[in-house]
Amino acid sequence: MWDEGKVLAEELSALRVPCAAVLGNHDYEHGQVKEICAELAKVGVHILDGDHFIFEKVLGIAGVKGFGGGFGNATLQAFGEGQTKSFVQEAVTESLKLEAAMSHLDTPKKVVIMHYSPIPETLEGENIEIRPFLGTSRLAMPIDHYRAEAVFHGHAHHGTREGKTRAGIPVYNVAMPLMAKHTPDQRFALMEI
């Protein structure tokens, strides 16, 4: 996985604009997060994990990995076995990290980047059985409270491209396999905020 991080860093080294990113579950798989972050930092990528990046005092970007746990009335609660409580606590911790990052943004525009989805709508197309593992509505709470302009997430490779939080904030699924399916010649999203 570290080798993939090196390849990504090489590709991003050509960027002439600021770049912020979050890591996803694949980046954590082999325990080489520090090495991946170091490679990306060498080329000026700001890895966000419960923190923020401000671009020219106008655009604030808050980022977290996020976590699973389900949505709405089907959100998993911390009850029963210790393993279940640990799973729920990870989701709560990630949403608290996002809330802290967003609370520090005093910019006219705010964007959130995360790996896991904050809404079920961008998961349409994924097997229904795995959707609780692709995100949680706990992540939507700070997004709505601090009024982000937009949210970008990955992780849902077979999901849907767009949705909205309860407060109407647009959420975009920019998972690479989904982008490749819909726009094979352009594997990136260009949005005006």
Tracing tokens 């990995």 back to the chain, one arrives at: 65
149 by DSSP, 3-state: which? coil
- Give me the mean pLDDT over the 113-124 stretch: 98
Tracing tokens 């009850």 back to the chain, one arrives at: 79
Question: Of how many residues is the chain composed?
Answer: 193
* Domain extent listing, the chain: 48-182
Where does the pLDDT of residue 192 fall: very low under 50, low under 70, confident under 90, or very high at 90 and above? confident
Whole-number average pLDDT of the chain: 93
**Environment class of residue 118 by beta-carbon count within 10 Å: exposed (0-12), middle (13-18) or buried (19+)?**
buried
Q: How far lies 125's CA from each of 119, 145, 173, in Å?
A: 13, 28, 12
Tell me: domain 48-182, CATH 1.10.1390, correct?
A: no
- For the stretch 141-161, pLDDT in tens is 999 999 999 999 999 999 999
List 150's β-bridge partners, or say none. Answer: 111
Whether 1 has a pLDDT exceeding 60, the answer reads no
H or E stretch covering 45: strand 45-47
**Environment class of residue 57 by beta-carbon count within 10 Å: exposed (0-12), middle (13-18) or buried (19+)?**
exposed
Distance of alpha carbon 80 from alpha carbon 88, whole angstroms: 11
Distance of alpha carbon 24 from alpha carbon 76, whole angstroms: 21
- Give me the mean pLDDT over the 14-25 stretch: 91
pLDDT at 19: 92
- For the stretch 33-92, pLDDT in tens is 999 999 999 999 999 999 999 999 999 999 999 999 999 999 999 999 999 999 999 999
pLDDT at 96: 98
90 by DSSP, 3-state: which? helix
